[in-house]
Amino acid sequence: MATKSTKFIPALDDVEKAREKFLKALDITLLNPPDVEVGASPHEVIFTENKLRLLHYYPQTEEACSTPLILVFALVNRPYILDLMPGRSVVEVLLKKGIPVYLIDWGSPGDEDKNLDLNHYINRYIHKVVQKVKKHSGSDKVNILGYCMGGTMSAMYTALHPEEVRNLILMTAGIDFKVEGTLNLWGDKPNFNVDKFIDAYGNAPADFLQSGFLIMKPIQNLVSKYVNFYENVDNEAFLESFLAMEKWLNDNIPVAGEVYREFIKYLYQENQLVEDKLKINGKPVHLKDIKCPVLNLIAENDHLVPPASSIVFNDLVSSEDKKTIVFPAGHIGLSVSGKSLKGLWPEVSDWIIERSN
């Protein structure tokens, strides 16, 4: 009996250690979550309109090119995913390479913004930003890097205003919305009456959008990552990174109703951009009017924007200088993973610099 008892005591110790670890994890994530700093690269706000802010990042080294780069993020979530934290920041890599960087922070639309449409975002907001950046930098043209939905809008802008853009970089941008994909299926006309939805809500609610993203990968989003968190709760570097990502993932914003309605109807349901039928403010959006150098960045493991949705873009433009990079990462990993920041973004930076002087 004594032998059995001594064998059982360490097991009790293990249970107590596991309990303490669980309570620590619970305290960090739910009871007393720390306010982690994100988007910390030094910058100034040089232009505002309505909710929009235009950020200019201070140089971190001697500038290697004279053409500024504008980062255009999606209307969903916050753009600081591109500058999450030191060591996990696309902005940081670009700045250290000597590229002048600007970023559009769309802000969070209110009920008064429900009528903002594609024309407002592209021909007013983006176009105004381009003019402000040109004036601020002294450049006659800009480079544009559009991420996800921001990439789709950047392609539209460049097609409508090709004289403004020296180089166009797309990053996990939806172009062909009739390829196989979960969001494409959910947004298709037989499955989603977007008119009734937006007429009822005004704007697309943040929690509606967030819940959709979560249930696309329920095991990973709701189970696996917390198991991983529990196993690494004593690793301070892991904790800092994990909590920064959690802050971004849960920092949700609505999407202005009319631009959401148009995105669903014109792209997801009617695929007008690929079929060369899209008009914005009465003017046709022809991707073939894009003639500048193009770099198309695709995440091989993207569950939000299937690679097939993005890869067609280079075949639809008239650019002679065009390149596609399919990188082994996910939709978010393309911007924050150590593998991407070390293996992809220095190459992207060099591509931009070579074509920007």
Length of the chain: 357
How deeply is 205 buried, as exposed, middle or buried, from its count of CB atoms within 10 A (0-12, 13-18, 19+)? Answer: middle
Spatial strand order in the sheet of 52-57? 43-49, 52-57, 101-105, 69-72, 142-147, 165-171, 294-299, 322-327
**Regarding beta strands 165-171 and 294-299, do their DSSP bridges make them parallel or antiparallel, or are they unpaired?**
parallel
Residues with a known catalytic role: 148, 302, 331
Half-sphere exposure in the Cβ direction for 42 (13 Å, CA):
5
Residue of 124, 110, 154, 136 whose CA lies nearest to 49: 124
Other C-beta atoms lying within 10 Å of the C-beta of residue 14:
10
Helix (H) or strand (E) holding 169: strand 165-171
Q: Distance (Å, rounded) from C-alpha 231 to C-alpha 26?
A: 13
